[in-house]
Amino acid sequence: MKVKLSKKDALIVVDMQLDFMPGGALPVPEGDKIVPRLNEYIKLFSSLGLPVFFTRDWHPPDHISFKEQGGIWPPHCVQNTPGAMFHPDLYIPSDNRFIISKAFSRDFDAYSGFQGTALDSLLKERGIKRVFVGGVATDYCVKNTVLGALNLGYQAFLLIDGIKGVDVQPGDSERALQEMLSEGTVAVELSELHSTA
């Protein structure tokens, strides 16, 4: 399948933060391995003048999702800590890029980049109709961002060569992939994108 990129397209890079990388507080196995491929996507979209959105968990120290507060996760991506920073090799363009912080309030959790953020309004005011989503983790924030996009009326493309899952339960990532596809997501890889905007 070939997909021709247009001015109606945007890239969403989900949660490529150090705490989600090997050695981090909540590591996604081989999460760092997709950085080079995501960089290729970022450079492609940037070269065409298409917007690139970087989502990030941006938790307060006592966030509701943490085990100490009754949540299910160890503390991770606490605001302004090293673990909350993006992977140092991730390419962040100097212009036409947006940092989307989520789950930054103590009592509000968010897996989707659309929950409690300005992402939808930023996309709409730019006339974006299609979003291309990659990052971590397939079975949590990637899945929920993709499903959120579909629910808001966007066409969603999943970058299958630019995602990694955490698989808390064996098979979680594959189940997440099937759920996204059954809801209408289109799976693509870099070689299928035309670079004529």
Kindly name the residue from 9, 32, 139, 141 that is annotated as catalytic. 141
15 included as an active-site residue: yes
Kindly name the residue from 32, 102, 139, 143 that is annotated as catalytic. 102
Cα 65 to Cα 47, 72, 78, 88, 115, distances in angstroms: 38, 6, 11, 26, 15
Instruction: Look up residue 87 and give its two tokens.
Output: 């992977």
Q: What are 11's strand-pairing partners? A: 52, 132
Please say whether the beta carbons of 119 and 55 come within 8 A: yes
What phi and psi values does residue 95 have, to the nearest 5 degrees? -140, 165
77 included as an active-site residue: no
From the number of C-beta atoms within 10 Å of its C-beta (0-12, 13-18, 19+), residue 63 rates as buried
Instruction: Look up residue 152 and give its two tokens.
Output: 């808001």
Residue closest to 14 by CA, chosen among 43, 53, 66, 45: 53
Kindly name the residue from 15, 19, 57, 109 that is annotated as catalytic. 15
102 included as an active-site residue: yes
Catalytic residues: 15, 102, 141
